[in-house]
Amino acid sequence: MLNRRKLQATPSGDAGGKPEEKKGGVSRRDFLKWSGAGAAAVAVVPQFRFVSRLLGNGRSEAESANTNGNGKGRLRRWSMIIDLSRCDGCQSQGTPPKCTEACIEGHYASEPMEWIQVYEKEIHGGGTQFIPTPCQQCQNAPCVNVCPVGATFSTPEGVVLIDQERCIGCRICMAACPYDRRFFNWGQAPIPPQAQFVEYHVEHQVPAKKGTVMKCDFCPDMARVGKLPYCAQACPNSAIYYGDLEEDIATNGAEVLKISKFLSDNQAYQQKEDLGTHPRVYYLPGHGEAVGRSPYTHGRKPTRWPWIEKIKGAKTWSR
């Protein structure tokens, strides 16, 4: 099994004679070559600015969508890896799952929408594991295939989005999603007043619109400016990696790794692979053992919505 925490030293060295560090099977030299970053980009800095070299490189949205940093016109292929051996449902923090809370705050997600929902699932032999579940970003997405008006669509980068300005609220996509990762605004959504001043964009669905479907948007807009998604930033155990399959590199903000090797070495899997949906979210097996959790430590704290003041006329519904 791949050591997911410690840097690995290789026999080769840099100009200073020090051994070359590797994170998740990616050497510093390879990372710099693939990402086009300078030496300073390897260090973890506030707000994950080094990730801009890995993911967005500081370019405009249009340019980032059509190049990989070397001008050859290859598209980004955003993906996510969730290491379940590091996920303890935030039991060690004594809080509800922080990935869910961060997503709610970052997207002004209305109650009861959990765009990344952490399920507690029984495992064979007894005990449980926690499974953070965002939209799986299927490359053969049932929701896209059934939408009658094209409101749900896949971008060239492989991200599945919803255009609330086109959505007619038929909810056929919700019925088609095998992962239960879509939510419907039954009324005026319970969001804070300041959300009304955010300019709507299909990649950042704020403010919520009555009678439309919403879901995890995979945060490609954040990646282009060098930031990890809210969920990955907030995870106290660094269990969530985000990256680009085209460059074969991902990061959790603390380490950089080669995706293909990381998935292979750790027996990665996808949810409901037999359906042929081809998700872009990968899982590494585990039950939080890497952060000291026993599978027999049951229970997670319920998700909280932080909005004390809600917009006028808002109401809360149940799923």
Q: Which fold has domain 26-291?
A: Alpha-Beta Plaits (3.30.70)
Residue 5 predicted with pLDDT over 60: no
Give the span between the Cα atoms of 130 and 117, in whole angstroms. Answer: 10
Do 54 and 225 contact (CB within 8 A), yes or no?
no
DSSP 80-96: EEEETTS--TTGGGTSS
**Tens digit of pLDDT for each residue in 118-177?**
999 999 989 999 999 999 999 999 999 999 999 999 999 999 999 999 999 999 999 999
Give the span between the Cα atoms of 104 and 101, in whole angstroms. Answer: 5
pTM of the model: 0.80
Looking at residue 264, what is its pLDDT? 97
* Tokens standing for residue 317: 């519904």
> Higher pLDDT residue, 28 or 165?
165
**Tens digit of pLDDT for each residue in 230-283?**
999 999 999 999 999 999 999 999 999 999 999 999 999 999 999 999 999 999
Segment 305-314 shows an average pLDDT of: 90
Give the span between the Cα atoms of 193 and 308, in whole angstroms. Answer: 10
The residues pairing with 244 across neighbouring beta strands, listed in sequence order, are: 78, 249
Segment 281-288 shows an average pLDDT of: 98
Looking at residue 75, what is its pLDDT? 86
- Computed over its alpha carbons, how large is the radius of gyration of the chain? 20
Residue 56 predicted with pLDDT over 80: no
- CB neighbours of 125 closer than 8 A, spacing ≥ 6? none
- Of 18-22, 43-47, 196-200, 246-250, least confident by mean pLDDT is 43-47
- CB neighbours of 312 closer than 8 A, spacing ≥ 6? none
**DSSP for residue 210:** T
User: What confidence tier does 318 reach under pLDDT thresholds 50, 70, 90?
Assistant: confident
User: What confidence tier does 224 reach under pLDDT thresholds 50, 70, 90?
Assistant: confident
- CB neighbours of 144 closer than 8 A, spacing ≥ 6? 138, 152, 153, 154, 160, 173
Mean of all residue pLDDT scores within the chain: 83
**Tens digit of pLDDT for each residue in 72-125?**
567 899 999 999 999 999 999 999 999 999 999 999 999 999 999 999 999 998
- CB neighbours of 237 closer than 8 A, spacing ≥ 6? 86, 87, 88, 92, 290, 291
Residue 212 predicted with pLDDT over 60: yes
User: What confidence tier does 39 reach under pLDDT thresholds 50, 70, 90?
Assistant: very low
Beta-sheet strands, E only, within 140-261: 152-154, 160-162, 183-184, 213-214, 240-244, 249-251, 256-258
Q: Give me the percent of the chain exceeding a pLDDT of 90.
A: 71
Domain borders along the chain are 26-291
- CB neighbours of 184 closer than 8 A, spacing ≥ 6? 169, 171, 174, 212, 213, 214
- CB neighbours of 139 closer than 8 A, spacing ≥ 6? 154, 158, 277, 278, 279, 280
